[in-house]
Structure 1
Amino acid sequence: MQLKGIAAASGYAIGPAFIMQEQTTVVERKQIAAADVDAEATRLQQAVNQAMAELEQIKEDTAAKLGEHHAEIFATHILVLQDEEFIGQAIEKVRSEAVNAEFALQEVTQQLIDIFTSMDNEYMRERASDFRDVSQRVLSVLTGKRNASLSDFHEAVVLFAHDLTPSDTATLDRSKVAGFATNIGGRTSHSAIMARSMEIPAVVGLQSATETVKDGDMIILDGAKGIILVNPDAETLSTYEQMKAKFEKRQEEMKLYKEKPSITADGHEVELVANIGNPQDALGARNNGAEGVGLFRTEFLYMGRDSFPTEEEQYHSYSTVVETLGADKPVVIRTLDIGGDKELPYLELPKEMNPFLGYRAIRICLDRKDLFKTQLRAILRASAHGNIKLMYPMISTLAELRAANEILKETQAELDAEGIAYNKNMEVGMMIEVPAAAIIADQLAKEVDFFSIGTNDLVQYTMAADRMNEKVSHLTQPFNPAVLRLIRMVIDAAHKEGKWAGMCGEMAGNLTAIPVLLGLGLDEFSMSASSVLPARVLINRLNRDELKQLAEEALMMEHEEDIQRLVHERVPAVQELML
């Protein structure tokens, strides 16, 4: 029997299944006598304090086992428990409604989870797990019902669970857990990120695996393809044992590339940088060999709260990323990209028939100069400390670019008048997400310092297909010749003006896409931190001049499947690294 899920962490796990039964805390609403409300609020605060102490211990243990950058996940969880917008609301609910602490906490948690899970952006959806994890920990303290330890297995098993929290994952003993599989989750969940760093093969999003698989079933977990084989025959088992040994040997060899330059076999150097969503992610980028940050999704700083982050809060976040990576490393900060699927309740955006084509991103910022200027001031101030670059999202017209730059100039003039330092030579660029922008890239290139191609949106807008709609998901085709031709137009337009062109969509880290993008002349590849080393290994093996012909042939093909097949035939290193 074969089960198909989402490949969360590459590698192969072979061993008996162990089904972790989900432990849910059933919470009922109970009215509290007025005289007992203060005591109930204190009980909630004490449970929060105990949960924070537990997280501090997990943080220390994780730092010792995996390094400081992974321990920062739990530092973030501690900050969540210290956030007045979260716990403060729960305590206020206890007081205002005279309800039990468990119910108040669960209600507030669910409201926040609903906000995050309703978003189209996978990264932001997965952030709901942060609130779910810390809330469950506090509930466990309140109810006295604690989860069993996940590190007490007597042999190396393949663990199956409905879900694993980051703290669950951090406590796994690698010698006893060969791999794990979950019913829910995605590649950007913290548990998936930690699994990749702990080098624990993982498959998520299996939907009902805990009901299908039985304790003791012999399991092959293929973390590269995202599949589970249940009770395989002897021949399949032998094949996978050989694949597992080969993969583990290659992983050790790949670590040697962490400090190597991103340079092709014929001497052409490119930049491999990482996409991040918060300052803590910069640690993972650095420790995975990224040469900087190609996309800082700043909307994360605005979410999970009920008011806009202040200039000081933003300045601190941007400066922290620079400090983490080093003053010489590039950090491309995208201005607020809210709207569409990413809502801010306190912004009170209008309901729209098609929010993806509506009032969002730069369109909001140009309309709300106060909001835009606050962020620009923070970015400019942080630029005094390092190699920060500013990037506008969702630009469709030359007029929008010029309007954004005018507001930037106004902000710079204000800082000058106040005697506040900033990098007066900071590079200013824009994302190419809208086909209209790609088509007039020759005009836009004259007025920016760089382009960064956001393929996630560019593909869905070019193909007129919502990437979240299963009925049309077959049209989400990054290798479609129409998309590739737009990408070439953007790169050529940038180079004609002596500017650089990068890419920060998922396509940038796709091993099959990299040879084509190199052949088209892409200068910078921004991807998830875990994709950096495989990309560098591949790039080091490629000859850019030879790939120019490959790219030209790809542009002339009719179907994306033909283009992928061409790459695999001409560049065998791609499939070798994908195994």
Structure 2
Amino acid sequence: MITLTGKSVFGGVSIGKLSFYKRNQKVIKRTHVDDVEAECSRFQDAKAEAVGQLKELYDKAIEDVGEANAMIFEIHQMMLEDLDYIESIENIIRTQEVNAEFAVATTADNFAQMFASMDDAYMQGRAADVKDVSERVLDILCGVGEGVKQTDELSIIAADDLAPSETVQLDKSKVLGFATMYGSSNSHTAILARTMNIPAVIGLGEALSQDYDGKMAVIDGFTGTLYIDPDEETLTVMKEKRAKDLEQKALLEQLKGKENVTKSGQKINVYANIGNVSDVGAVLKNDAGGIGLFRSEFLYLENDTFPTEEQQFAVYKQVAENMAGKKVIIRTLDIGADKQVDYFGLDKEDNPALGYRAIRICLTRTEIFKTQLRALYRAAMFGNISIMFPMIISVGEIHKIKAIIAEVKAELKAEGIPYREDVELGVMIETPASVMISRELAKEVDYFSVGTNDLTQYTLAIDRQNSKLDEFYDPHHPAVLAMIKMAADNAHAEGKWIGICGELGADLELTEEFLKMGLDELSVSPSMVLPLRKRIRECE
């Protein structure tokens, strides 16, 4: 048995095989070819090899998960043999005289977009399948093996660390837990683990070797320990620990439908933070009162190019409809710093956390901002949508935002496109500057939401992504709490409400302190809604 110790970012116990996250190293470039027929043959050979791989996967899946669950691999084989798909690829090769890789990638994008735009839910689901089978062909053409990023069975995902763009692509239904070499408790891996309510250990160092790929492992998220090839005694202890944890979670389920009210009668809203449409189910399952933070930048991280107005409108509309009148606060894109997107063409910065990011991009690249605002105002017709702006440091920024909103409304009206006029507007309080001028800001907007992750970082002058500084990073620091109280007092002085949407909102040690400050709302990962409700109901 090998025992590795790191830092826990979410409690619980997971038992399963260790699966290292594998990154594809292929780059698809468009190149001219002279012999188009030879290139078509290259494609046909790669397709035949891909079909062979899928047949092997089908046979293995029948043994592991039964015939019904193995059917997906038969569907993938059929997609590779689809005449429309094949003809599209070969037509691109012949007419444009380009390489097979480019033709496959282009066809995959075109077909996926076509499926995704269909009304039928089954056909929409085929968009991901056509991308999957095309990736398999591209891996063969590029000579990078199968390039599997994640196994097809339940597993503990191991990696050096995971970027935001990688966490959003994981098949979350197959993830038992996370174990990473690096990262901090504020990394996106950690946030995802808390959102998914699964155990995670970070900072295991280079002792977490790829040699352990496929071995049985146990994550003890309570102690921050990873056991590889656990002995029988350890396995027994961990199974008992897991059973007790699941029993406790079952007790919390009994709190569903209960009010978020203290023993003395003080009420507070408990909302949930999400990253995409697929998280809405977890919000409803955990009985959150609304969505306090929809991180819209994940739409941009998932895309290969700027998401269109229609793409964004469809997502925001679906979330609003699914929440059936409950509040949905959508934060405008917060790209930059640790969330980099290639097609934005952002320059490399020495200090990106203090750089060109969030509202600063929106106010200087207004065509991107206006596209998102148009989608938001249109989607607000279908539910209770509020808009929130990140990284605000001045009243002047709010005036510029309102001027752009006025332009967007005028354009929509002129085009005869329905939109909601009275959308609630709020700002993130996540810089010391926004705290110090919070009284003036409160006169301009409808509400505040405190982003404690960045507020702590900027108040303490500590890079929250730097694991070496974890011992100095103290979100309970008196200065941070004083900043939150000051913002709350100023919001209430102007008759506006204030909440917290940062990770600190889920810190049960501070719940009573936040209630004393008079905070009106706490927005946390869906998995923390019920534990937070329990803590609120215990407070005097």
TM over 0.5: yes
Corresponding position: 1:428 with 2:429: no
- From 384, 391, 395, give the equivalent of 1:394: 391
- Are the aligned partners of 2:12 and 2:245 in contact in 1 as well (CA < 8 Å)? yes
Matched with 1:289 is: 287
> Given the superposition, is the C-alpha separation of residues 294 and 39 from structure 1 closer, same or farther in structure 2, using an over 3 Å criterion?
farther
CA–CA separation in structure 1 for the residues paired with 2:273 and 2:178:
25
- From 267, 270, 285, give the equivalent of 2:268: 270
Matched with 1:247 is: 245
> Given the superposition, is the C-alpha separation of residues 246 and 432 from structure 1 closer, same or farther in structure 2, using an over 3 Å criterion?
same
- From 512, 515, 519, give the equivalent of 1:518: 515
CA–CA separation in structure 1 for the residues paired with 2:401 and 2:352:
21
Letter in 1 for 2:222: A
- Are the aligned partners of 2:393 and 2:434 in contact in 1 as well (CA < 8 Å)? yes
> 1:38 offset after TM fit, Å?
2.6
> 1:320 offset after TM fit, Å?
0.9
Matched with 2:4 is: 3
Local SS of the residue matching 2:406: helix
- From 457, 464, 468, give the equivalent of 1:467: 464
CA–CA separation in structure 1 for the residues paired with 2:330 and 2:8:
29
> 1:271 offset after TM fit, Å?
1.6
Corresponding position: 1:457 with 2:476: no
Corresponding position: 1:406 with 2:407: no
- Are the aligned partners of 2:4 and 2:207 in contact in 1 as well (CA < 8 Å)? no
Letter in 2 for 1:36: A
> 1:440 offset after TM fit, Å?
0.9
- From 499, 503, 506, give the equivalent of 1:506: 503
Matched with 2:222 is: 224
CA–CA separation in structure 1 for the residues paired with 2:445 and 2:231:
59
- Are the aligned partners of 2:9 and 2:194 in contact in 1 as well (CA < 8 Å)? no
Matched with 2:254 is: 256
Q: What 5-or-longer segments of structure 1 have no aligned partner?
A: 66-70, 72-77, 79-83, 110-129, 153-157, 173-178, 544-579
> 1:435 offset after TM fit, Å?
0.4
Larger displacement relative to structure 2 (383-392 or 261-270): 261-270
Matched with 1:75 is: none
* CA offset digits 1:488-507 (Å, max 9, x no partner): 00011111111110111111
- From 307, 313, 316, give the equivalent of 1:315: 313
CA–CA separation in structure 1 for the residues paired with 2:434 and 2:21:
48
Q: How many residues end up aligned between the 2 structures?
A: 478
- From 472, 490, 493, give the equivalent of 2:490: 493
* CA offset digits 1:109-148 (Å, max 9, x no partner): 9xxxxxxxxxxxxxxxxxxxx9998887667888997999
Corresponding position: 1:535 with 2:532: yes
* CA offset digits 1:259-286 (Å, max 9, x no partner): 3232222222212222222222222222
> Given the superposition, is the C-alpha separation of residues 472 and 192 from structure 1 closer, same or farther in structure 2, using an over 3 Å criterion?
closer
1:39-438 equivalences in 2 (<5 Å): 39-41=41-43, 98=99, 170=173, 182-183=179-180, 196=196, 203=201, 206=204, 207-209=206-208, 221-228=219-226, 243-326=241-324, 328-438=325-435
CA–CA separation in structure 2 for the residues paired with 1:13 and 1:306:
34
Matched with 2:126 is: none
Larger displacement relative to structure 2 (206-215 or 442-451): 206-215
CA–CA separation in structure 1 for the residues paired with 2:427 and 2:37:
58
> Given the superposition, is the C-alpha separation of residues 221 and 335 from structure 1 closer, same or farther in structure 2, using an over 3 Å criterion?
closer
- Percent identity between the two aligned chains: 39
* CA offset digits 1:467-506 (Å, max 9, x no partner): 1223434332211111111110001111111111011111
> Given the superposition, is the C-alpha separation of residues 171 and 244 from structure 1 closer, same or farther in structure 2, using an over 3 Å criterion?
closer
> 1:245 offset after TM fit, Å?
4.3
Local SS of the residue matching 2:382: coil
> Given the superposition, is the C-alpha separation of residues 422 and 20 from structure 1 closer, same or farther in structure 2, using an over 3 Å criterion?
closer
Local SS of the residue matching 2:392: coil
* CA offset digits 1:505-561 (Å, max 9, x no partner): 111122223222222222111122222222122112112xxxxxxxxxxxxxxxxxx
> Given the superposition, is the C-alpha separation of residues 23 and 267 from structure 1 closer, same or farther in structure 2, using an over 3 Å criterion?
closer
Root-mean-square deviation over aligned CA pairs: 5.1
Local SS of the residue matching 1:272: strand
> 1:339 offset after TM fit, Å?
2.6
Local SS of the residue matching 2:254: helix
Local SS of the residue matching 1:408: helix
